């Protein structure tokens, strides 16, 4: 299987942001109130759980690349019943939660940039999904991109 260059570019940018998140810029420290620390812990834990459940539900269909794997099927149950990209949701929540816990303006900035990358990655990913799965357009109307749709 030949991996499209756009797929590789998205994964490389995502990995670079993961690495950047590991660092800190002391001058960008923000001291949040204690109640936000606990909100950050909650957001981090919920994000980790969402990511774990979504990864387990994808199982053999999981790939870091936006293009669907050959022979994979569209998963529309479990957390995927409500959200089309729960792994990205969980990762974003985890990054934002940890940034709050760490009192880090730098990490908040990296989390925000990662969220923008995920938005554009999902636009590309969903074009690829529509090419492979005829039911994807209907699924897209039912489930939210990163958070459940309000009915």
| DSSP string for 43-89 | HHHHHHHHHHHHHHHHGGG--SSSSPPTT-----SGGGGTBS-HHHH
pLDDT averaged over every residue in the chain: 95
- Cα-Cα-Cα-Cα torsion 62, 65, 71, 73, nearest 10 degrees, comes to 60
- Domain ranges in the chain are 34-61+75-151
- C-alpha 145/C-alpha 104 separation (Å) is 27
- C-alpha 39/C-alpha 83 separation (Å) is 22
The yes-or-no verdict on residue 1 having pLDDT over 80 is: no
Mean pLDDT across the stretch 119-141? 95
Class at the top of the CATH hierarchy for domain 34-61+75-151: mainly alpha
Band of pLDDT at residue 150, cut at 50, 70 and 90: confident
Q: 83: which DSSP letter?
A: B
pLDDT digits (tens, 9 = 90+) for 38-93: 999 999 999 999 999 999 999 988 999 999 999 889 999 999 999 999 999 999 99
Share of the chain above pLDDT 90, in %: 91
Q: What is the pLDDT of residue 58?
A: 93
Mean pLDDT across the stretch 28-38? 94
Q: What is the pTM of this model?
A: 0.94
- The residue assigned the tokens 């991109």 is 145
């Amino acid at each position: 299987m030949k991996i499209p260059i756009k797929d590789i570019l998205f994964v490389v940018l995502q990995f670079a942001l993961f690495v950047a998140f590991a660092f800190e810029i002391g001058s960008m420290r923000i001291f949040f109130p204690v109640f936000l620390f606990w909100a950050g812990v909650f957001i981090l834990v919920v994000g980790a759980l969402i990511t774990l459940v979504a990864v387990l539900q994808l199982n053999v269909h999981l790939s870091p690349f936006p293009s669907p794997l050959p022979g994979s099927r569209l998963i529309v149950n479990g957390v995927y019943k409500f959200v089309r990209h729960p792994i990205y949701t969980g990762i974003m929540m985890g990054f934002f939660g940890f940034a709050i816990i760490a009192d880090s303006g730098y990490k908040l900035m990296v989390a925000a940039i990662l969220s923008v990358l995920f938005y554009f990655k999902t636009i590309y990913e969903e074009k690829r999904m529509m090419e492979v799965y005829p039911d994807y357009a209907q699924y897209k109307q039912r489930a939210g991109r990163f958070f459940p749709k309000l009915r």
